[in-house]
Structure 1
Amino acid sequence: MATLDQLAERIERLLLRHDELKRTNALLEQQVSVLSAERDSLRSRLAAARSRVDALLERIGADEARGDAP
């Protein structure tokens, strides 16, 4: 059976590991937050680009229908 000192030492190591994991988790949560914001920004930019492309395609179609296309 483990002695009291061995148990105390093991508990101390577990507490240190717990603190280390909490810090790591906080950093990972921060990275997820940053990456989520970047993803949302990229999605917004993509939607805006799609709108511009759609508008250009509509203009091309309208020009072709009028016979203005080169």
Structure 2
Amino acid sequence: MPATSPIDQIAERVERLLLLHEQLAHTNALLAQQVMTLTQERDSLKSRLQAARARVDALLDRLPANQPSTDDAP
């Protein structure tokens, strides 16, 4: 088995690094897409929560101010 030259070793290492870079770039793109999707989902949920709070507040405002409780009955 012939010994590999330093140039061949460097070339092999560069090829491995290029492959690793490509894999990492792909993973990074997938993660960026996932972050964007989750951010949109979070914003949607926050909006729905605000709308639900507004509906609850409106319902609370419609309740009578002084409603006698059943514990106050003689």
Smaller-chain TM-score range? Answer: 0.7 to 0.9
User: What is residue 16 of structure 1 aligned with on the other side?
Assistant: 19
Q: Which has the higher helix share?
A: 1
**Regions of 4+ moved over 6 Å:** none
User: What is residue 64 of structure 1 aligned with on the other side?
Assistant: 65
- Deviation of 1:20 after TM superposition, in Å, equals 0.3
Identity %: 62
Structure 2-normalised TM-score? 0.80
- Deviation of 1:64 after TM superposition, in Å, equals 3.3
Structure 1: unaligned runs, 5 residues or longer: none
Higher relative contact order (CA 8 A, sep 6+): 1
Structure 1-normalised TM-score? 0.84
- How many residue pairs align between the two structures? 64
SS of residue paired to 1:64:
coil
